[in-house]
Amino acid sequence: MAGGKIRAKLRQSQLYTFCQKPKASETEASRPIQGAGFSRTVYCNQPLLHQKKPYKYRSNFISTTKYNPITFLPKALFEQFRRVANVYFLLAAILSLTPVSPFSPVSMIAPLVFVVGLSMAKEALEDWNRFLQDMKVNLRKVIVHKGDGVFGFRPWHKIQVGDILKVEKDQFFPADLLLLSSSYEDGICYVETMNLDGETNLKVKRCLEVTSPLEDDGTFKDFTATIQCEDPNPNLYSFVGNLEYDRQVYPLEPGQILLRDSKLRNTAYVYGVVIFTGHDSKVMQNSTKSPSKRSGIERKMDNIIYILFTLLVGISLISSIGFAVKTKFSMPDSWYMRPDQTTDMYSPEKPALSGLIHLVTALILYGYLIPISLYVSIEVVKVLQATFINQDIHMYDEETGNPAQARTSNLNEELGQVDTILSDKTGTLTCNQMDFLKCSIGGTAYGVRSSEVELAAAKQMAFDLEDNEDDLSNFPMRKHNPRVSWGNGVGSEIELETVVTSKDDKDRKPAIKGFSFEDSRLMNGNWLNEPSPDVISLFLRILAVCHTAIPELNEGTGSYTYEAESPDEAAFLVAARELGFEFCKRNQSSVFVNEKFPYSGQPVDREYKVLNLLEFTSKRKRMSVIVRDEDGQIFLFCKGADSIIFDRLSKNGRMYEEATTKHLNEYGEAGLRTLALSYRRLEEAEYSAWSNEFQKAKTSIGADRDGMLERVADKMERDLILVGATAVEDKLQKGVPQCIDNLAQAGLKIWVLTGDKMETAINIGFACSLLRQGMKQICISTANFDTLGQDSKETLCLLTNDQAVKDNILNQITNASQMIKLEKDPHAAFALIIDGKTLTYALEDDMKHLFLGLAVDCASVICCRVSPKQKALVTRLVKQGTGKTTLAIGDGANDVGMIQEADIGVGISGVEGMQVGIFSDYSFL
């Protein structure tokens, strides 16, 4: 790469995400960024300018410790004296210094110092371990430009804003960098962002074309540039700025920014300039201190201390009153006490004062009613329990070699007090490893294998029917149905048309990761004999072209594997490969697909020039790619949520809408994740006009830039023609149904908070035993608002639409609560299902307690289409509303809020990484 490599002349690309090459603009790009939040100036390769204000920024030294040498003593003491008992012992120790104390001060002060010192020592040890981890990071080495084109190693914590870094393959980025060039000729690099968003899939970054020729160390000898950009902020997926280089100004985008703690993959090296360092970097801006959690036993002990202290004061008051009376009336008669030479401590003339002084003495004397040794015992037990958790062989993952880890020892006893478990679904209950299972092409459904949800439902139906038949065994006649065998020869007489399995298990090929599809009509090129082979080939072509994945040749098998941004996308590419359309190469401007079953009969490699790529976001719920094929025709291929795609279909593009909708509903009921596929043919003039508008929006600078891009992209994603739909399965984690069943039998309430749609969430609920046959479902949704009568609608028109929806939801909750109260069957079980839009209203102050009351009366609760913030709000509502111990469990960055809100937070490590581990109280790897 560096040193003598020949770099081809690059073609201007207009890719929005994958290959971005913004041009300098004399109008938009040359305008300086102004306004609050856009004041940072970076002088590239001129670090000396960043040693003086106002351009002196924070160092790259990071610290995640709770204390430092200055704050340790006050902060640690504050934490210790949050305990009521320690406050009491402190007051007793102070009183022991007075002349009225019946004990030596040492006997009161020494136990307090021991207990507080032991707890502070434990805090110091845990914080010291965090400090050692920080220093291990701060002392990592990175290659830095030292001047005159010479690069050398320097520790991370000495990196400054403006430094030029050379990061090599499989190294982490030590700060937020602007990508200047890479070992690839087209200036791209591949980045793994697992530590940022939990995704192990690679992201593609691309430098500006103007800096791409900076190909080796020597080219940076005289390199200088200036960056004007936004101030430090926690937004991982946005960046606004511009680069002034060689008297031209170039707009910068998130696709050129390399974030700290992400890793360089599949790229020999990259050069970058430091923009944000240390705690100014985006990942550190996103780090929050975990809330200080106190266990229920600790809070209960505080209450007990209040009771004991009240009892102690009562006993001491009785004693002091008796002493005062005795001093006043009996003291003068006790000549041996020398009443003529008394002090205030026992003066017959001042009995009230003597009684008050005796009160202090009594408080100290009877102080052992509150045992300080109890706290010592509890601290020791907690540490031992945490050790047992870390060494529990039953919570050891043999595949990764990682044990469970108790990140705090303060909450061990809470694990046995859990009343409600709030769990994420994807990656926690399910594996987050997608398998392509079924599809609908041109209105025809393909795929004969059954999902786990279908099999679980069929087994439950078989068992229920078998029980019913046993109850009716005395009747002389029974209806005969075909027998379906489950398990070890256990038969049940039911008819299940939707459950189809392979005819011959011996004919099955070895399992292919991401591909569980089985249908002879499409396999081995048989789709050429189908009634609509053109539609099928277009469907497979969309799967093979519409993506941002990176192919890697497996030399062992000779086939390609894929690094994709999502497991769904990887499953689509594997399916396209197995069905004859193998994505095999990508460069800066083209995608290459090997079509194994063309009409000519011989495999052929086809090139599709990628003109634009419109990325997938949670807001857009779709992604599109505009390509030019070998015949010069321009196509837009689009895949996305069915509700989004169907709204954008043209009049002549709805030929398969009815049949596809039916299939999508069936796939949803089978617990599958679905996407709709569509396309559009573009004329040259139409595309040219749109491309100019898109390029103008792309080179604009300002806060509304993303909005402009979205509006321009939306203009193109119209008048689509529906091709079909995909259905992939996210399989359950091993043992999940049995685990949930055992927890339910133990009396624990289980809530599942997921972003999936309601149909999928319900069927996953059946598969994992969260929902059971015979359980009465209560579905609360804003969709029910459409079922109101006409008269009701006319009445509600007098109100605002928002208020009308809110009133309807309130009626649904009230009616459901009333239905549960009127239920006469004591063994009846209810399940509550609510969507995120409805939850927005249900969590408002005037309705949340009604919603919680309904949910608590239900055996299972499923909240679908919820946002990360709603997960945290629901957890807070359950914790505060019930006053009982809650446990939250998740594996993704969107679960952090939920984990921090719960009394106990558990982080699960799955294929998406361990990004929640640092926020959880316990992590299970």
Give the C-alpha separation, 722 to 677, whole Å.
6
**Which residue, among 825, 554, 605, 703, has the nearest Cα to 239 in the 3D structure?**
703
The contacts of residue 85 (CB under 8 Å, 6+ apart) are 301, 302, 305, 370, 372, 374, 375
Distance (Å, whole) CA 808 – CA 799: 12
> Residue by residue, what is the 3-state secondary structure of 64-76?
CCCCCCCCHHHHH
Round to whole Å and give the CA distance between 42 and 257: 14
What sign does the CA torsion over 341, 346, 350, 356 have?
Answer: positive
Phi, psi of 183 (to 5 degrees): -70, -20
> In this structure, which amino acid lies at residue 822?
L
CA atoms within 13 A on the CB side of 306: 7
Quick one: angle between helices 684-698 and 705-716, nearest 10? Answer: 170
- Mapped onto helix, strand or coil, the DSSP state of residue 175 is coil
Q: What is the DSSP letter of 484?
A: E
Which of left, alpha, beta for 489 (phi over 0: left; psi -120 to 50: alpha)? left
In a 13 Å sphere around the CA of 424, the CA atoms on its Cβ side amount to 30
List Cβ neighbours of 346 (8 Å cut-off, separation of 6 or more): 327, 331, 337, 354
Residue 243 to residue 227: CA distance in whole angstroms:
5
In 685-695, which positions are buried (b, 16+ CB within 10 angstroms) versus exposed (e)? eebeebbeebb
| Identity of the residue numbered 397 | D
Annotated catalytic sites, by residue? 424
- C-beta atoms surrounding 397 within 10 Å: 12
Please tell me the distance from the alpha carbon of residue 526 to that of residue 578, in angstroms, as a whole number: 12
Would you call 751 exposed, middle or buried from its count of C-beta atoms within 10 A (0-12, 13-18, 19+)?
Answer: buried
Neighbours of 637 (CB within 10 A): 24
Angle at 271 between CA 570 and CA 136, to 5 degrees: 85
User: What torsion, rounded to 10 degrees, do the Cα atoms 544, 603, 436, 643 define?
Assistant: 40
